[in-house]
Structures are given as structure tokens and as C-alpha cells.
Amino acid sequence: MGASLHIDAQIGDIAETILLPGDPLRAKFIAENFFENAECFNKTRNMFGYTGTYKGEKISVMGTGMGMPSIAIYSHELIDVYGCKNLIRIGSAGSYQADIELKDLVLATASSTDSNFQYTFDLPGYYSPSADFDLILAAKKSADKNGIKVKAGNVLSADVFYDDDPDTWKRWAKMGVLAVEMESAALYLNAARYGAKALTMVTISDNFVTGGRLSNEEREKSFTDMMTVALGMSEFI
């Protein structure tokens, strides 16, 4: 038995810095192709998690599944039970702006949302879920060092993937929201509540304005750029 309800790991098995792709198989890919001495610490629900080293620094990676309820459970346990300090989500997103193009890497400085998740914290108003500034700087420095361009701004964390209204996105776009994904708001809220740092970085896989969409082969290469930036952050954290 692990130390938490949903992660089969013991205290000390997970590094203070952890990468969080939605897809557990992507976590497995990162561990097998980027880590040294990778060891699997979680297979519960096939949500694979690994700890290893990258350029001599201890680091972990684990899948979180899709949507805010899923990442909320895992991020809560990673922070509150296992003491993770730096949680970096790496995922995909759909662009809401014509100039946020396919393959662009976006840092989510803040996360708007249509979710009611924040109401569970019983706040007397509206909280603005936002990324940690130190992690934003580390990501930018890593990107610059590796010659990878990044854009930064507000993204939307949506509860619904198949929206009954096909034009809902336009109302967010007019407010300057760059892209849509489904996890960052919950991650930022949990990090704020439990004293950790968090950042979401996403690769644009499709564009609502132009209708463009990456092929599977293009996604793989673009996501590798994102992994390079995320892993390179350890030098600057």
C-alpha cells in the first residue's frame, strides 16, 4: 500500500519536482527516453509514475488523466502527502487566436475556467488561478537556452470537451484567452492552497480560428520540444 489513496508510492519515492502529462503512456515515454535510472513508483489505475534523474537532478513524472477532477486528486496527494514543491503540467491545447499557431508552446500565466471547482474552497469572491512566477522564468530561460520559442498568457480550463454550442470559444477569445485545455485551473488552485508552485505549459495541437490540426507525427515532435523545455527547467529552479 502507498501512502495515499490513489498513488502507490512511499514517502520519499517522488521528487520535489514532477512533470504531469495527462497521458500516463507519455509519462512512461518520458521516463524511458529522458530519465536515467528511472524507477516506477505507481501503476495504480495504470496512471504510471516514475522517478529518475535528469542531468544529475532527481525528477519525477506521472500521468494525471483528463479534466480537473482527475488532476485535482493527484495534485492534492502529490503536494499534501508526498511533499512535491514544483508541479509542471505538460499537455496539449486548442488555440483561440489566429496568431497562436500549431506547434507553438504556450505558458499559462493564468487560467480562466468555467468550472465550479474553486467554490469548494469557500472563498468570499472569485479567485484568479495563476502560475508561479519563478517557474515561468525557469521555463522561459530553458526555452531560450534550447532555441525554442514560447508564448505566454491566459488560458481556459474547460469542463466540457464536446461543447453543445460550437461558438462558445469566441466569447473567451474576445477577452484575449490564448487557448483551451482542461486541467490548469485545478492545478493552480491546489498549489496555492497547499503551498506549492505550479506551471502549465501546452503545445498547440489545433486551432479554432483556422481549423488547423497537427498530425500524429507532428504532435510527437512538437511535444518533444515541450519535454525539452520542461526538463531543462531543473537548471533554473
Q: Which helix (H) or strand (E) holds 59?
A: strand 57-62
Report, as residue numbers or ranges, the catalytic residues: 206
Does residue 186 contact residue 88 with C-beta atoms inside 8 Å? no
For residues 148 and 121, what is the distance between their CA atoms, to the nearest angstrom? 37
Question: Is beta strand 150-157 parallel, antiparallel or unpaired with respect to 105-113?
Answer: parallel
**Cell output for 176:** 484575449
- Nearest Cα residue to 161 out of 188, 141, 139, 183: 183
Question: Is beta strand 150-157 parallel, antiparallel or unpaired with respect to 179-181?
Answer: parallel
Residue type, position 18, single letter: I
For residues 214 and 204, what is the distance between their CA atoms, to the nearest angstrom? 8
Sequence length of the chain is 237
30-36-38 Cα angle (round to 5):
65
State the distance between the two ends of the chain, measured CA to CA, in whole angstroms. Answer: 32
With both helix axes pointing from N to C terminus, report the angle between 68-80 and 184-194 in degrees, rounded to the nearest 10: 20
Q: How many helices (H) and strands (E) does the chain have?
A: 6, 9
Q: Which helix (H) or strand (E) holds 234?
A: none
